[in-house]
Amino acid sequence: MNYSISTDHKLKIIRYKHAGLINSEDIASAWSVFLSLNEFTQLKYNLLSDYSNGKFNIPIEKIPKIVEFMKVIKDVVNGKKQALIVDDPYSAAASMLFEESVYLEVGFKVKLFSTETAALKWLAD
């Protein structure tokens, strides 16, 4: 797998960076790590997901399934923020569809960015 996960205690965020082709199994694997982190589940750290060197290999039709998973963990993600840094057009489009659905159905605030600076500013607000 082509990703890394680290904890930034100063900013109170979980940093997730993924490069290359990103499939649903990769995302599921990363989420299992997030859900094992006390900072994410108990201390309410937000999530910075950097896909700037990656490309989603996930069909748009799978977005409802991902949102269903988010409903299962609603108690953990409701009210949290996830900033997505994306530069690939398909990945950006898929992210926008996910962004709206997951907020309306779960209360998880996801927003798309093109730079880390903008993403970090939003997470800090």
3-state secondary structure 52-112: EEEEECCCHHHHHHHHHHHHHCHHHHCCCEEEEECCCHHHHHHHHHHHHHHHHHHCCEEEE
Our count of domains for the chain comes to 1
What is the percent of the chain with per-residue pLDDT over 90, rounded to a whole number? 90
- CATH number at 74 reads 3.30.750.24
pLDDT for res 2: 83
pLDDT for res 123: 97
pLDDT for res 35: 97
pLDDT for res 51: 96
User: For residues 78 and 98, is the Cβ–Cβ distance under 8 A?
Assistant: no
Confirm whether pTM is higher than 0.75. yes
Q: Residue 69: left (phi > 0), alpha (psi -120 to 50), or beta?
A: alpha
Per-residue confidence band for 1, with pLDDT thresholds at 50, 70 and 90: low
pLDDT for res 42: 95
pLDDT for res 12: 97
| 81-88: average pLDDT | 96
Residue 30 is part of which domain span?
Answer: 3-124
pLDDT tens, position by position, 9-55:
999 999 999 999 999 899 999 999 999 999 999 999 999 999 999 99
User: What is the maximal distance between C-alpha atoms in the chain?
Assistant: 37
Query: Across the chain, what does the average pLDDT equal?
Result: 94
